[in-house]
Structure 1
């Protein structure tokens, strides 16, 4: 995309460079929300395209590429998309993937909140893998006059495989530009008061309607243990979120436990694991459990299928009676306001 300069003089004007250029208005500030991504449709073809991009990221799979690409191309991509297609179809919404629908809803809500506060901002959603791409979102922000752009990954807890790869991708796109925008990045907000309050409010409202369970399990996406051993702060961020949420819930915080889901491969991942934990609880006589996924701001396959279906079935199979899944923050109004406040703080001085 080309951007014409209003300051380039006509070649025939001998005095063009002697005059002071007119002052440049600051223009709107861009806010780029970044989430993981999703297939365009719940078909094996689009799932294969999505997985090929996602699983080729060295931030996600830390195995030498010459080994991993053989495994990926010969064993995973030929089989995995067909197995995932029915699971994606089961959760697909009328307007598309839940992750895309709810992420876009949050982007639109933040735009309204910031505009209502008199801020001249443009909010766009970009996906690290798939569409709408980060590159497209950045180009749209630049086309709307944004020379200052704040990137906000939609991951409250920092991990190299989520937040860092989003930052990497924004920087790679900027590296190809002649006229780069000024860039800022939000690293984490796992302990943000508005985020914790929105989670607590969702839990308390659910319990006031439906009654309290025996236990509440906070299930975070897993990470290989070696990532933490090499210095990734993700586990610490997750545990700080758990601690703050327990404190916010007061006496009800005693019901709260934590576990990690979505293991991949044979390596050791963060423990305890979600499904085995639920199975063990059921065998111990626990009958009623609620599960929430605070690390996901928008519902997706990992929450709607893995937790709400697979983990529920596992819990019931072992003798449990009720597993209730509490949805992600999605289009929650209190979270939209808190998210806008968080973003406004990071826009300070702009």
Structure 2
């Protein structure tokens, strides 16, 4: 029997609809796309577009995509987050640490707001918020901290709070990612044996966020790719860094993964492997956009080619080992 929890670790991710119906997807998209961290257009311009067009057309299309990846246990993002929390709680109890791990979503359930309120109501006064985003961006980590701030403004008893801004600069994350890729290649063969290539595909953001507003996200993605490639002993010709998930009419960070997959396929590249180091858990953007959508684009450009999507760390033993080390490091002085 472990000690009574005195510290809570709250994993935080972006979110997912409660189910793959158009109605649930509309609720999720409404909350997600209303966040000014996500869409930085002035509300008087964006909200009429959101309610007048986007929320009328996109929910049905997105719901169809969610249905392709939905599991009997629910949304992949929630399933993986739950398993991470459960595995970490087993580690904490085995070590007799007074720590409980919960998971939450900025948009969707269980909500970050509700989880914080539950933790405070139980009398836990030390809280470590762990955004599950290796690189920092205002749209991810910034949004998590906005939500925390909004909740705290309504609470009288605020817990002592710690967080991390990023963890892509930790050597053990780089090694965990590299070993994860090695494990995949050990089972499926590596791309070089088939004259192939590895793409590190990161979630994109509008170019203006970097060029005009000075965000460091693009450089952190590039540095992450370089570090993982070095740990894998790759040559520059064996890999590249691209960006996915473009939304709206504006230019986003480039090269676009989908365009590079089509080009490489049309050039006759025999094998294309893609791994997504900005995602800790598989979700719509990895399982549907990459493993289904970009796979189709590549295979249509090269019908004899071989496409491999390397899953996220998810709740693999290597991921749990990394999160346990990170938590122990960040809780020094509390334990």
TM-score normalised by structure 1 residue count: 0.90
In structure 1, the residue matched to 2:7 is 29
In structure 1, the residue matched to 2:218 is 235
Q: List, as ranges, runs of 4+ consecutive aligned residues in structure 1 with deviation greater than 3 Å.
A: 251-254
Structure 1 stretches of 5 or more lacking a match? 1-25
Deviation at 1:317, TM superposition (A): 1.2
CA contact (8 A) 2:5 2:100 kept: no
CA contact (8 A) 1:34 1:134 kept: yes
In structure 1, the residue matched to 2:147 is 169
Deviation at 1:301, TM superposition (A): 0.7
Give deviations 1:238-275, integer Å, cap 9, x for gaps: 11111110111014675221100000111111111000
In structure 1, the residue matched to 2:290 is 307
Distance in 1 (alpha carbons) for counterparts of 2:126 and 2:234: 44
In structure 2, the residue matched to 1:13 is none
Aligned residue runs from structure 1 range 78-157, under 5 A: 78-157=56-135
Structure ID, larger Rg: 1
In structure 2, the residue matched to 1:226 is 208
In structure 2, the residue matched to 1:248 is 231
Deviation at 1:190, TM superposition (A): 0.8
Aligned residue runs from structure 1 range 164-243, under 5 A: 164-213=142-191, 214-229=196-211, 230-243=213-226
Distance in 2 (alpha carbons) for counterparts of 1:294 and 1:245: 9
Matched, 1:269 2:266: no
Deviation at 1:192, TM superposition (A): 1.8
CA RMSD in angstroms, aligned pairs only: 1.4
TM-score normalised by structure 2 residue count: 0.94
Larger mean Cα displacement after TM superposition, 110-119 or 85-94 = 110-119
Deviation at 1:116, TM superposition (A): 2.4
In structure 2, the residue matched to 1:8 is none
Distance in 1 (alpha carbons) for counterparts of 2:35 and 2:233: 41
Give deviations 1:63-111, integer Å, cap 9, x for gaps: 0001100000011101111111121111001110000000111111222
Distance in 1 (alpha carbons) for counterparts of 2:166 and 2:95: 24
Instruction: Specify which of 18, 27, 35 is matched with residue 57 of structure 1.
Output: 35
